[in-house]
Amino acid sequence: MLHLISLTLLISSCCLHFNRADMLAEEGQFPFEVSIAYKFKDICGGAIISTHAIVTAAHCINYIEPNDLQVFVGVHNFLIFPRGHIHNVATTKIHPEYEPTTRDYDVALVKLKESLELNANVNIIPISSTSHVYYGGKQGTLVYWEIENGSSLLFTQTELWAEKRCTPANALGDFAVDLFDDDLPPSSLAVICVGIPAGLCIGDDAGSLIVDKELWGIVSMNFECDSKDKPLILTNLAFVKEWIDDNYLN
């Protein structure tokens, strides 16, 4: 298992910069993407996987009571929020193997009190299940919320790293050697590494990675902004799809 570093050391959740690498999403362009809020203050992204379930990162909602969460759907720009809808949360479920310090199995489900009405701005995205192996050099799209004011949904193109390159040594650098006392674990199918476009810092937790119109991953952590040598690290949803299927249907 690829162990990740504690959030106090590595997470950069304040530094998303809008530049030529970012593009503003249009209405209905990513109808699966939602904003999850804690007491009406947005904290993370998420993706619609059924009419009553959202997948997000476990670290986003761990220790938060379901009654304190709200899910905003059908929104691409909060300046024109009246076109969106607010949904209350019935229950949440964290992956049983989630480790808060290292963020292993960083995935959770949010179940809504009322089913979604699907339309052009609110829709389901399928989770990739073809293989637990991803391919280096394959192109994908990252969808995420602007961090500086949280008003706009953004997207950018990215490239997946090869599995053999997505190791603690490559992803975390010299700090990983110190952390693991030279006993570095191998690469893991539980995570995906993607390159960060020049000048871009994606601080939006649980943003979505889309490949071939399927949901491949959700953002878990960003080691270093504006660096082609350090990746954005995501939870590989194909690796945990069986758990997702078993739980969001029940």
Check residue 1 and give its pLDDT. 45
How far is 25 from 210, CA to CA, in rounded Å? 14
Check residue 173 and give its pLDDT. 64
pLDDT digits (tens, 9 = 90+) for 214-249: 999 999 877 666 566 778 889 999 999 999 999 986
Is 174 domain-assigned?
Answer: yes
Residue 162: pLDDT band (50, 70, 90) is confident
Could you tell me if 66 and 104 are in contact, meaning their C-beta atoms sit under 8 angstroms apart?
A: no
Is 20 domain-assigned?
Answer: no
Q: Which two tokens stand for residue 142?
A: 């990252």
Q: 41 and 110 share a domain?
A: yes
Q: 94 and 120 share a domain?
A: yes
Ordered alpha helix ranges (H), 130-250: 168-172, 174-180, 241-248
Query: Facing residues of 179 across strands?
Result: none
Q: 196 and 109 share a domain?
A: no
Q: 143 and 119 share a domain?
A: no
Q: 158 and 105 share a domain?
A: no
Q: Which two tokens stand for residue 172?
A: 């975390």
Residues 6 or more apart from 62 whose CB is under 8 A from it?
94, 98, 100, 108
Q: 101 and 168 share a domain?
A: no
Q: Could you count the other beta carbons within 10 Å of the beta carbon of residue 159?
A: 14
Which uninterrupted H or E stretch holds 155?
Answer: strand 153-159
Is residue 90 exposed (0-12), middle (13-18) or buried (19+ Cβ within 10 Å)?
Answer: middle
Residues 6 or more apart from 179 whose CB is under 8 A from it?
3, 5, 168, 172
Q: Could you count the other beta carbons within 10 Å of the beta carbon of residue 41?
A: 8
Q: 142 and 234 share a domain?
A: yes
pLDDT digits (tens, 9 = 90+) for 10-50: 333 333 344 445 699 999 999 999 999 999 998 999 999 99
Is 10 domain-assigned?
Answer: no
Check residue 34 and give its pLDDT. 97
Q: 206 and 120 share a domain?
A: no
Is 157 domain-assigned?
Answer: yes
Give the total number of structural domains in the chain: 2
Asked if the model's pLDDT at residue 167 lies above 80, the reply is: no
Residues 6 or more apart from 76 whose CB is under 8 A from it?
25, 26, 27, 28, 29, 30, 121, 152, 153
Order of all β-strands in the sheet with 23-24: 23-24, 153-159, 139-145, 208-211, 214-222, 232-236, 191-194
Ordered alpha helix ranges (H), 67-153: none
CATH number at residue 163: 2.40.10.10
Asked if the model's pLDDT at residue 70 lies above 90, the reply is: yes
pLDDT digits (tens, 9 = 90+) for 116-145: 999 999 999 999 977 656 678 899 999 999
Is 129 domain-assigned?
Answer: no
Is 30 domain-assigned?
Answer: yes
Is 7 domain-assigned?
Answer: no
- Following CA atoms 79, 85, 89, 95 in sequence, which dihedral angle do they give, to the nearest 10 degrees? -70
Q: 157 and 218 share a domain?
A: yes
**Half-sphere exposure (CA, 13 Å, Cβ side) for 44?**
26
Q: 118 and 146 share a domain?
A: no
**Residue-number span of the structural domain to which 35 is assigned:** 25-124+243-249
Q: 94 and 151 share a domain?
A: no
Q: Which two tokens stand for residue 120?
A: 């052009």
Q: 103 and 173 share a domain?
A: no
Is 77 domain-assigned?
Answer: yes
Listed residue (248, 220, 219) closest to 110, CA to CA = 248
